[in-house]
Structure 1
């Protein structure tokens, strides 16, 4: 080491997540970090901030964006970018499927989350369910139940589809949705938690979900 060399800060490589209470995008990041065994130092912004229900990130009054992941001098915002970053940093094999069929199924289920499952879940949390929302939740859950009767994970192998979809299952659970008719979904959640260093702590999200302030997109 040279005379004027600066000793590298060992803490500079820590991953720090700025999230928002009640924001499903934040929950997806926590799930991915748990599955990929990536330690995160997580800070949750005030639950009084209105939650963006459409985009994968939002601006806070402080001009910060959530969810936001920082490592040293690198920073990235938005759930899709953060999940990819965490996946690359994780241990073992990437969750991105190599087979075209599984990759297509993964992306299909992510689209289902954003286009139908998410909005219907939000309607349930907000007590604004229409007949269409009720039918949508039932159809998606029945499809998942059937798939998970035959597969350990949504596309067969563990993939990005699992943390995306699981986040909404946690939301429904916290909101009081009756999932007793879907035992395979419950077993799948247990398998996911078995992949993590510990079960997902959702206590910080509960009040926000019950007040209807949570993001599900």
Structure 2
């Protein structure tokens, strides 16, 4: 899952990038509203973490512009303001959730995962494909009822494949959403697909030659 973090506090964005990466997310960062809006409009994100007070364009204006452009990516707003009218303003302009600073990183991650399970992008709470079941909130996987222990990155790869189980997913798309994009080794997707097959069975992930991969149904 790829997340965009927009906040002008560089210490905070650095910490969030490290923490979210450790949780299995691919993370992009912007430090002002205009850059954040450009990234959110041009690229495909699964969630956006957006500060209210930003240089050049505030968070409210960013969300308003995104919704006007038809971008439905879930947005979690961050703010030091905790008044009820501040929260209401954020939700009214189109944000999906609102978290006040300072906040717990554990809560932030839980809020992001909750956003990934709700509309506007319909996301089931538990993913299933054949006898393979993944619970994103609990971060557990079973096959035929037997628990399977996956690393953070293996889990992220499997989750993305299962969220798109109705189609073949290309290597570039997987790399861009599960890792940090072009800077990664071009073989990293193949390597991790191999890890999944070793743990889940060779039939768990199907290779579609010249197109990519799909999770077996």
The TM-score bracket by the shorter chain reads under 0.3
* TM-score, normalised by the number of residues in structure 2: 0.28
Higher fraction of strand: 2
Normalising by the residue count of structure 1, what TM-score does the alignment of the two structures yield?
0.28
